[in-house]
Structures are given as C-alpha cells and as structure tokens.
Amino acid sequence: MPVKDVDYALSISGLTKSYGDLVAVNDLSIDVHRGEVLGFLGPNGAGKTTTVGVICGLLAAEAGEITVHGHSLSHEYAHCKQLIGLCPQDVVIWEALTCMEQLTCVGRLYDLDARAARSRAQELLESLGLSDRRDRLAGTLSGGMKRRLNIALALVHRPRVLILDEPQAGLDPQSRVLVREYVGALSDTTVILTTHDMDEADRMSDRVAIIDHGRLLVLDTPDNLKGSVGPGDVLEFRVAKGQDEKMERLRKDLPDGVTDKGLEGQVLRLVGGDLLNLLPVLLERFEHRGVAVEDTVIRKASLEDVFIGMTGRRLRQ
Amino acid sequence: MRLGALLRKTMIENFRDWKMLVMTLSFAPFFVVLMYFYFEGATTSYRITVVNRDQGAVAQELIKRFEEVESGEGTTVLRVAEEGDLAAAQERIRDRSADLVVEIPEGFSNALLHYSEGREGPPLVVRTYGDPANVKYMMAAAFCDYLTYEYAALITGETGPMVLEPVSLGGVDAPDEFDLYVPGLLALALMMLMFTAAGTVIKEKDKGTLLRLRISNMSTAEWLAAVSITQVTIGLLAVALTYLTAWSLGYRMSGSLFDVAVVTVLSSMAIVGISMIVAASLRTIFDLVTIGTFPFFILMFFSGGMFPIPDVQLFALGVRTINANDVLPTTHSIAAYDRIMNTGGGLGDVAIELAAIVLLSVVFFAVGTWAFTRRHMVAR
C-alpha cells in the first residue's frame, strides 16, 4: 500500500460531529507524528469514541478533514482503510471461529493471500501468547485471551495507524505487560491509544491529548503536562463532612510554597515543591482550625491532576 | 478472494451453530412425518354415511358399489357406514366423522325395477347432505352422484343422450392427501431459512463483529453473496432432507430432481431477500426470534401450503389473475413444486412460477439490501 512521504501519520483538522443537539466533537484538530504513540484521554462522553468512529469511517463527520499518511479519508476511503487498524473497546470476535480461522479470515478481507494471511495469523498468535489456543473456538477463551485476540485482529493487515480503544480494560497484569511491550515494539506504526488509565497513558504515550466536551484541551508530552500542574508533589487531604466554613478559613491560611488546587468533594488538593517537609506545618494548621482529617495522600503529579486542573473534575466523573 | 474468505467464514459459523441448523433442517421433515401419520399414510378416502330407507336389493347393490370403488393403488376410496336415523347421520356431518350423507328414499329399488320394465313413475329423489366448508365434501358428492347415475342407467337401461367420461391428465396416479402436502412442506423447509439467513446477518450486528467487516476491504455485495450462497446450500439440504423423509414414507415424485433443485435455489434467494428486510429492521437475535416470527408466519399461512386460502384478487395481468398472496414467493414455489412433483411437469410447465420467483427475489433482495445497507453499513 503506497504511503505518502508526509510528516503526519494522521491529521485531523476542524473535525465536528453532532448527534442532534449534542455536539460530540467540536472543531477538533490534532496532528499525529509518524511512529508516535498518542494517548487520547478524556472522560466518558468527551468525544473519544466518536472521533475514533470518524477516523475509521464508521461515522460521518459534519465538518473537518482527516488525512491518513497524506490520503484524504473522505476521498480515498478505500485506501485509508488499509492503513488503519482498530481494536474496539468491546471484545469483537467471532466466537464460533477458532483464533486461527478468524485471523486468517480478516487477513484475507484485507487482501492478503491465503499463505500470507496464515503466516501473519501464526505470527500474531505467538506474539500475543495465543499460539497454544490457535485451534480453539474464540468463545471458549478466557476474558484476557479474548482481549488479546481482539488486539491481534486489529494488527493482521499490518496497519500504519493502529487505534487501540481502551485496550487494557479487562486484561490481567501479565497480559497488560505483554500488550504494552508488543505495542511499544511496533516501531513503524503510529498508535492512537484511547484510555481512562492515566498510568498506562503516561507509561506508553509519547504525547497525550486531553479532550473534554468534544474539544481538545491540551496536547503535549506527559512530562510537560505534569510539569504544568506545578512543581513537585501533590498532597491530598480527605476531611470529615460538615466542615465547609472551617475549610474556607483554612484555605486562606496556607503556608508559602503551597498552591491550592481546589476542594473536590471532601478532598483538598495542594501542590508544592517540598510538601513532605511542609506536612507537619499543614497538619498543625488543620488542627488549629479544628478541621478533622480522615486521610492524607502524598504523591507525584499525574495526568489525572492535569485533567483536574483543566476541568475541575476527575476523569471518571 | 474476499468472497472465498467470507463464504468459508459464513459456512463454518452456520454449520457450527448446530442448534439453529438442526432446527432449520428438521422442521419440515418433522411435519412430513406428522402429516403422514395424520393421514395414516393411506390414499385419500371419503367417509360416506348412507341412510337407507329402502332395504331393497337394488339399494343394497348401490351401497355395495360405493364400497367397491378403489384407487389406483387398490385402496378403498369411499368408506361407507350406514345409519338408520337421518338426524344422527347429519350430526356426523357436523362433527366431521362423515364427509357426505346419502339418503336413499323408500321404494328406491322398486322404482328402478319399474323403470327397467318400461313403466314410468314420479322421479326419485336421492338426497345428499354435506358441509361446504369440508374440502372433501364436493369430491365425495361427485363420486356418489356419478356412481348413482351410472348404476341407475345400468338397471333401467336408459343411458341418456351422453356419457360422462373422466380422463386423468398428467400421466400419473391421482395423488393422495399426503402427496398434496409434500410441496407445501418443501416450501416450509425453505421458509425456515429466514431464521438462519437473517440470524447470520443480525448476529454480526448483535455481537459487534459487523464493525470489523465494515472497516475491512470487504464490500456489502461480497458479504451478501457469501450469505446467499450459504443459505442456498442450507436450503438445498433442507429440501433434500424433507424429500427423503417423504420418500421414506412412500412418497414418489413424478418430475425430475434437477427441476426441484432449480425451484429450490431460486426460492432460497427470495427467502434471503425477505430475510434482509427482516435483518434491516431488527438489531438482536432476541428480536429475530420474537418479532421476526411474524413474517415467517405470514409466509407459512398465506402461501397456500398448509391449507387452502381464498383468492383475494388484486388485479388481472392478461388472462392471469394476480392475488394478494402472489406477492409471497413461496406461493409460487409451492405451485411449482406441486406441478413438478405431483403432476410430472417440467421447468417449461412452471415458467410463469419461476419468473414470478425470480422477479420477487430481485425485488425483495433489492429492498432488503438497500434497507440493511442504509441502516447498518453506511457511515452516518
């Protein structure tokens, strides 16, 4: 399949898609470099799956343009199909076919000849730890194995752009490592990874795009994004209910070097450079204001903090 | 290449889904066995109750002649019972234990003997009673009328100005009731394809695997071709099994197997077309086994295979009347099967039925494919 010599494996420009009055994707523009792993983060209903649906040609956009390795999705769809591989969020396999049968069938549907399809199927089964299940009906596999087969089906035709929609959901820890290592080793493949799992996105992505309400909020490397939250650590205090007034007074009396990132429910989130040393001082202030602390957590800043900082709420809300 | 892969996949899935397959393949053979035992595997017979008010020798001889009528296979055609009371005999008509009551009047024997001696008298009245709603009534009445007139002519020597001579066309023995049901049961075997055909398509939607097909290089036409070839194969198997079941119970076809196969292939395509319309309207297998049974029952009950239904004329096309159930391809399938299997007709004899099946196949397929593509295959 000819691939144009362009900088971007995938280029989305001004993409808009609505369902009735609901604007699912709103003027979204993202350029994805060749060979990079792009984490595509957002809460439920943010527009991730709709964007993926449009990229794969399953949904029609109202406005905007998508190119895959320089080929226009709207004008060269047949060409783009061959370049894209999709691993959907749900396990989408033919339960009455064996692993080998369905991988070979999908290979043939992407115009691989019979021998190449079988060879590629065998290769994928070995890579994803399913070779001893090659002749088992897919319906009889364990949940984790079905997930791995789901990923293998997206890779049969060696796509240049691989879209993994929540690939880690339902995977056991061992399978997670296997999939992570396999995806990491796809040197010539661009990977779009939509996920709720901040750690996984942080670990696997070269860059992360965060979207909410169909709009792109930010696009950068994980380190840069985490750096934008503030220097150092994140400190979370879970306090007892019914202390709103005391909390208001406390938040006006925080020591220097501490940034108030807001109160979310009963959790006060603070960011600072050396919060571990400031912890005794902070606890003294809580005591002084009569605020009862139920739990305290200190950790490094994460992508979740980036999201909370931008939207004021957690990713899973 | 893609068609081959899809065909293999569809075949494997259909043949591994053994519950649905067994249901499809065994449904019509089961009804063949049921019908056979219902009709006791015998040649059609008609139950005659005679109320003999005469008791003379001539009347007894007439009854004996009723009893002696035999089919080509040597089986009794008229099963005669006698009843002394007319009301009791008429009750038999109502409870369907008799198809016809023949009332022989008092003085029947003497009157005929008088006629034979050249003496005339008032005309004899031999009354028959029956229920027009009973499909056997008219045939039983025809048999008895004919036998009575023939016997009266024989006794009196008065042959009249004409002789009625029935000639059987088709060159085969008269089919019995069981034989008449076999074509309809073959069509029933094909109607069951609706579940496997629509099920094959709906399952892809229900399980989400349609997504994988859509994003591949496969075209809708290739997929539907694979589904159609698979269903035609199952249709041929279902019809073969149904015929073999009937054959093992004594049914013998007059026409050629090849002609039956041609009707089967064309009819299967029409059923797949209807299935596509069903599949376009439904989303889950549960929908299919609930809502999807509605079109199945329409085909089953209104194609005319299970029981005769009155003609509801829509319009006339030349000399041919187009009835409401002519829009069902299985109506023509049953007619074609019947012509080939029971009267020894060839493809030329069922050309109109075949043309109707092809036309309806094209229409249903076009509508079904358009609806399914629009609903499930196009990015919206």
Q: Per-residue pLDDT tens for B141-184?
A: 988 998 898 888 888 877 667 776 766 665 555 567 788 889 99
**Cα Rg for chain B, rounded, in angstroms?**
27
Is 60 exceeded by the pLDDT of residue A1?
A: no
CA dist A29 and A66 (Å) reads 9
Query: Residue B251 to residues A314, B172, B338: CA-CA distances in angstroms?
Result: 74, 13, 13
Query: Residue A304 to residues A171, A204, A210, A222, A301: CA-CA distances in angstroms?
Result: 21, 15, 10, 11, 8
Which pair of tokens denotes residue B1? Answer: 């290449």
Least confident stretch, A44-48, A309-313, B264-268, B344-348? A309-313
Cβ contact B267:B303 at 8 Å: no
Which chain A residues contact residue B1 at CB under 8 A? 108, 111, 113
- Ranges assigned E (strand) in chain A: 8-19, 22-33, 37-41, 63-68, 71-72, 84-87, 161-165, 190-195, 207-212, 215-220, 233-239, 258-264, 267-272, 293-300
Residue A78 contacts B, CB cutoff 8 Å: yes
Which chain A residues contact residue B207 at CB under 8 A? 92, 94-95
According to the model, what pLDDT value does residue B173 have?
A: 58
Tell me which residue in A82, A90, A97 faces B13 most closely, judged by beta carbons. A97
Residues 6+ apart with CB under 8 A from B295: B194, B274, B277, B278
A77, A72, A67: which is closest to A9 by C-alpha? A67
CA dist B157 and B329 (Å) reads 54
Q: What is the nearest CA distance from A26 to chain B, expressed in angstroms?
A: 17
Which chain B residues contact residue A82 at CB under 8 A? 217
Query: B12 vs A97: CB contact, 8 Å cut-off?
Result: yes
Is 80 exceeded by the pLDDT of residue A9?
A: yes
Which chain A residues contact residue B9 at CB under 8 A? 94, 97, 101-102, 105
Which chain A residues contact residue B215 at CB under 8 A? 56-58, 81, 84, 86
- Ranges assigned E (strand) in A34-160: 37-41, 63-68, 71-72, 84-87
Tell me which residue in A82, A96, A106 faces B212 most closely, judged by beta carbons. A106
Query: Residue B178 to residues A269, B71, B181, B224, B225: CA-CA distances in angstroms?
Result: 84, 14, 5, 37, 36
- Ranges assigned E (strand) in chain B: 46-52, 78-82, 100-104, 127-129, 313-317, 320-323
Structure-model confidence comparison of residues B202 and B37, the more confident one? B202
Query: B379 vs A57: CB contact, 8 Å cut-off?
Result: yes
Query: B8 vs A86: CB contact, 8 Å cut-off?
Result: no
Q: In 10 A of CB A239, how many CB atoms?
A: 22
- Work out the pLDDT band at A25, boundaries 50, 70, 90: very high
Which chain B residues contact residue A137 at CB under 8 A? 16
Residue A182 contacts B, CB cutoff 8 Å: no
Phi-psi region of B345 (alpha: psi -120 to 50; beta: other; left: phi over 0): beta
Which residue in A94, A153, A157 has the most chain B C-beta atoms within 10 A of its own C-beta, making it the best mutation to test that interface?
Answer: A94
> Can you tell me the mean pLDDT for B21-28?
94
- Work out the pLDDT band at A3, boundaries 50, 70, 90: low
Which residue in A109, A156, A162 has the most chain B C-beta atoms within 10 A of its own C-beta, making it the best mutation to test that interface?
Answer: A109
B319, B299, B318: which is closest to B309 by C-alpha? B299
CA dist B135 and A129 (Å) reads 69
> Can you tell me the mean pLDDT for B290-315?
85
Mean pLDDT estimate for chain A: 88
Say how far residue A162 (Cα) sits from the centre of its chain.
13
Q: In 10 A of CB A255, how many CB atoms?
A: 12
Cβ contact A139:B245 at 8 Å: no
Query: A109 vs B6: CB contact, 8 Å cut-off?
Result: yes
Query: A94 vs B2: CB contact, 8 Å cut-off?
Result: no
Query: A109 vs B5: CB contact, 8 Å cut-off?
Result: yes
Query: Residue A210 to residues A202, B184, B295, B346: CA-CA distances in angstroms?
Result: 12, 63, 49, 71
Using DSSP's 3-state secondary structure scheme, residue A119 falls into helix
Q: What is the nearest CA distance from B296 to chain A, expressed in angstroms?
A: 26
Q: Which residues pair with B122 in a beta bridge?
A: none
Residue A90 contacts B, CB cutoff 8 Å: yes
Task: Walk across the sheet containing B46-52 and list its strands.
Answer: B78-82, B46-52, B100-104, B127-129
Which chain A residues contact residue B221 at CB under 8 A? none
Q: How is chain B split among helix, strand and coil, in percent rounded to 5?
A: 65, 10, 30
**Phi, psi (5° rounding) for residue B10?**
-65, -40
CA dist B296 and B95 (Å) reads 32
Could you tell me how many CB contacts below 8 A there are between chain A and chain B? 70
Least confident stretch, A27-41, A263-277, B334-348? A263-277
Residue A15 contacts B, CB cutoff 8 Å: no
According to the model, what pLDDT value does residue B100 have?
A: 94
Which chain B residues contact residue A104 at CB under 8 A? 5
DSSP class per residue in B261-314: HHHHHHHHHHHHHHHHHHHHH--SHHHHHHTTHHHHHHHHHHSSSSS-----EE
Phi-psi region of A47 (alpha: psi -120 to 50; beta: other; left: phi over 0): left
CA dist A72 and A81 (Å) reads 11
The single residue listed with the structure tokens 């957590």 is A297
Query: A59 vs B379: CB contact, 8 Å cut-off?
Result: yes
- Work out the pLDDT band at A2, boundaries 50, 70, 90: low
- Work out the pLDDT band at B202, boundaries 50, 70, 90: very high
Minimal-distance CA residue of chain B relative to A137? B16
> Can you tell me the mean pLDDT for A131-159?
94
**Phi, psi (5° rounding) for residue A240?**
-70, 155
According to the model, what pLDDT value does residue A32 have?
A: 95
- Work out the pLDDT band at A175, boundaries 50, 70, 90: confident
Is 80 exceeded by the pLDDT of residue B308?
A: no
Which residue in A92, A105, A118 has the most chain B C-beta atoms within 10 A of its own C-beta, making it the best mutation to test that interface?
Answer: A105
Minimal-distance CA residue of chain A relative to B13? A96
Which pair of tokens denotes residue B149? Answer: 């007139």
Query: A56 vs B215: CB contact, 8 Å cut-off?
Result: yes
Q: How far apart are the first and last CA of chain A?
A: 42
Query: Residue B45 to residues B76, B96, B100: CA-CA distances in angstroms?
Result: 7, 13, 12
According to the model, what pLDDT value does residue B43 have?
A: 59
Cβ contact A282:A235 at 8 Å: yes
According to the model, what pLDDT value does residue B170 have?
A: 53
According to the model, what pLDDT value does residue B41 have?
A: 52
Residues of B with CB under 8 A from a CB of A: 1-2, 4-6, 8-9, 12-13, 16-17, 207-209, 211-218, 379-380
CA dist B233 and B249 (Å) reads 24
> Can you tell me the mean pLDDT for A157-169?
90
CA dist B337 and B182 (Å) reads 9
Is 80 exceeded by the pLDDT of residue A207?
A: yes
Q: Which residues pair with A71 in a beta bridge?
A: A68
- Work out the pLDDT band at A261, boundaries 50, 70, 90: confident
Tell me which residue in A58, A93, A101 faces B379 most closely, judged by beta carbons. A58
According to the model, what pLDDT value does residue A13 have?
A: 96
Q: What is the nearest CA distance from B7 to chain A, expressed in angstroms?
A: 10
Which chain B residues contact residue A96 at CB under 8 A? 12-13, 16-17
**Cα Rg for chain A, rounded, in angstroms?**
23
According to the model, what pLDDT value does residue A180 have?
A: 84
According to the model, what pLDDT value does residue B204 have?
A: 94
According to the model, what pLDDT value does residue B166 have?
A: 66
Cβ contact A61:A16 at 8 Å: yes
Structure-model confidence comparison of residues B235 and B76, the more confident one? B235
| Predicted TM-score of the model (pTM) | 0.76
Is 80 exceeded by the pLDDT of residue B39?
A: no
Q: What is the nearest CA distance from B8 to chain A, expressed in angstroms?
A: 8
The residue type at B36: Y
